[in-house]
Chains A and B, each alone.
Chain A
Amino acid sequence: MSRENACVLKVEGLCKNFGPTRAVADVSLEFRAGEVHGLIGENGSGKSTLMGMVAGIHSRDKGRMFKGNQLYDPESPAHANEQGISMVVQELGLVDGLTVAENIFLGKTEQFAQRGVINLRKMRAAAEEAFAAWGITPVPLDALARSLTVEEKKLVELVRALSVDPDVLILDEITAAFSHNNRALLYDLLVKLRDQGKLILFVSHNLPEILELCDRITVLKDGEKVTTIAAEGATEDQLKRLMVGREVKETYFYTPAQTTGSKPVLTVDGISVDGMLHNVSFELRRGEVLGVGGLSDSGIHELGRVLFGLSKPDQGKVILTETGEVIDSLRKAIDRGIAYVPKDRDTEALMVRATIEDNLCLPSTDSFVGRLGFLSPRKRKAFAREQLAAFEIKASGIRQAVNQLSGGNRQKVSLASWLSRPNRILILDSPTRGVDVGITANIYKLIAEVKKQGIGILLISDELPELIGCSDRILIMKNGAVAKVFERAEGFGEHSIVQVMI
């Protein structure tokens, strides 16, 4: 895999501070043409900031960069684009009120202008061509960006980055939002670009993916470069050790469920939602992890919303098996002990500007109400402190704002706010998305603990290894219907599961 090509991009002694926080400290790296270069590190290790400096998003406090033999000093992302460097950022970077085609060529529309008027038809055609040329799953070109799913948005951002025909393409955690099929497409595309002599800088938490795809891997920790190694011959455990600085063992904490004689807690009976779910039926048992997997449009995420009462099914019922009660509203779902941790953490699961205390307390508000509706601040504080300690959330205290926490600790806050309630059923949608290895292991441990309490867990995930590692049964969905249920006793073959998904 590795080839000795010319150095296309070099950074020397890069430093960046945000206020008192040191984000990147004295990083020097050389990147070669025709390589996929992986960047890994825990949340907050400086990957995104480093890439942001290369892409002209962040200014540098210190250090120099060279592209080819020339000094490279980007003033803005547009300026970086002109010099052949483009990036897909980790956060969403589209303008909500513009169409897909307009978003792709935003800031580069002169090429379609005739006497100052932009030829929208020409632009649309160019966008269509771009999707086809790069072999990327098409997204409706006239749709407004706000109507797209997170995955579709990421595809549009990818096309936008490719549309400048870059020599250096930076992808920051793009695959976290991708389903299985789009990941496969992306890998093929990246290999093709590499073979054309381009440099791809690839940031990801997904270590198997990094090992599979990259030629060389750079590990960052606390803003400093730990090392750069060849991917060939490297192992996941070795990478984890380098990232965390200590041994991380056993990521998955699977303990067999007491399935013998275990009763079902939730019966899903013929659920249909127009265009998204078709006649879905299954049972969730006490103390089991039921994994739910499938491609992005298979309806797995919608299923979670229906079970929690967030979406109303057109047909069918969600029934609490023990009492026969039908769950038809969100209020009922919460009151009967169903908890739901949604996948879009910052937009759906957290109040990011508010304190940890408020985020932890909100779902449990009813338990703090005393006489005359008095909502005791003392009780709230005590509760929040307890949860902060119990879930080992790394923070300066319960008064810290959630947007000052790393992604993994944010996810812990989101989980803790639900797990601290008396639950019967726990629905987790992509709980480890964008979370580093240390905290991912933590979350798996939590799932195992919850399972021991006899709670039925529905684990929805795009990560097949995660489903295989944690589940007692795996339900695979395809085009909104249940395609097959795999039992652990029969063994989960990754290959046979993928066969059913596609």
Chain B
Amino acid sequence: MEHIIPFAGLVCLLLLFTVLVGSKFWRPYNLRSILNQTVLYMFGGLGLIFVIAQGSIDLSQGAVLALTATISAILVNKYGLWLIFPAAILTGALFGLLNGVIISKLKVPSVTCTLAFSIAYRGLLPVFTRGGPIYVPFKLFDLYNFKNMFPVLVLLTLIFGYLFEYTKLGYYTKAVGENEIKARNSGVPVERVKIISYVLCGIMAGIAGVFTLSRVGGVDVSIGNFFELEVMLAIFTGGVPVTGGMSTRIYRLFVGALTIGVLVNGLTLYGVSAALAEGLKGLMLIGLVFITARFTMGREAAAA
């Protein structure tokens, strides 16, 4: 029953704005702009959902995005545009690997480790940017439009969705989130699974970084601020439990991201100020979690 609540929330919002805003809301241009607003969080979420599913968290995804974008921008300016994706993916993967190794091998709690790195990376950022913004070639600006981004999103969704839903890696990741001891007892290589999750999370931070570069046109110290929080907001709004586990589904990321996108877009069209719309995003998550908890609580009490 509680699985339907996030869908119901999205449908309600769509109905609400159809009534409030009318046909303006359903114009292709507007729908595309909703997707443009949310696609970055979908990219980030494709990686972060692995981490959330195994019951961990990555508070450094925004900082990793910033650092990979900066390093890629420097490399692209030096060696050429072709390097953009390889550079971003590779550096993202390396930062993810670092997170994963420290969390799984040294047993540092994921909140502590990624919070520390988030602060450290943000602190390092001015060293790379040398105070001023770094600009990227104009050609990169073309990347950030619907025509280019949509195929990339579909492709990555197919790859990550397959990994998450239909392979041993995804299954083991979710098992670790349910019960790490049981997973280990059942032969799950818990450490390896954790490391891979963080590497995937880092790779997606890198890819999201490339699109952020093309959207903004360069790097400054504020790039990727609050990125990981927006991604988590999307994942949790979609109904993924904070503790992860077997009920984590990749489609929930998209439901959540779209719900938030529709809410902000609809409110703005209706004439609500952007600041207020941002505030309502958070309230909506609390509301959804509350309703979901009501349903789950009723069921658990029945089982006791």
Contact = CB atoms under 8 A, between A and B. Distances in A.
Contacts of B80: none
Interface stretch (A214-222, A361-369, A461-469): A361-369
Interface string A379-420: 000000000000000000000010110000000000001000
A350 B246 contact: no
B197 to A, nearest CB: 16
Given A365-B168, A373-B168, A351 B185 contact: no
Interface stretch (B4-12, B273-281, B284-292, B294-302): B294-302
A348 B181 contact: yes
B184 interface: yes
A172 to B, nearest CB: 14
A18 B167 CA distance: 38
A351 to B, nearest CB: 4
A358 B248 CA distance: 13
Given A347-B179, A347-B181, A358 B186 contact: no
Contact of B186 (A18, A355, A363): A363
B171 A375 contact: yes
Interface string B221-257: 0000000000000000000000001110000000000
A21 B183 contact: no
B168 A369 contact: yes
Nearest to B169: A373
Contacts of B168: 365-366, 369, 373, 375
Interface residues of A, number: 35
Contacts of A401: 303
A349 to B, nearest CB: 6
A332 to B, nearest CB: 10
Interface in A28-66: none
Contact of B171 (A334, A342, A365, A403): A365
B191 to A, nearest CB: 12
Contacts of B271: none
Given A358-B175, A403-B300, A375 B167 contact: yes
A362 B188 CA distance: 9
A403 to B, nearest CB: 6
A164 to B, nearest CB: 25
A126 interface: no
A354 B246 contact: yes
Contacts of B247: 353-354
Given A18-B301, A354-B246, 19 more contacts: A18-B303, A19-B299, A19-B302, A330-B184, A330-B187, A335-B187, A340-B185, A347-B179, A348-B182, A350-B179, A353-B246, A358-B175, A362-B182, A362-B186, A365-B186, A369-B168, A373-B169, A403-B303, A404-B303
5 contacts: A310-B185, A342-B185, A349-B182, A351-B179, A353-B247
Interface of A: 18-21, 308, 310, 330-331, 334-335, 340, 342, 347-355, 358, 362-363, 365-366, 369, 373-375, 377, 401, 403-404, 417
What are the 9 tightest A-B residue pairs by CB atom distance, in nearest-first order? A19-B302, A351-B178, A404-B303, A354-B246, A334-B187, A363-B186, A373-B167, A351-B179, A362-B186
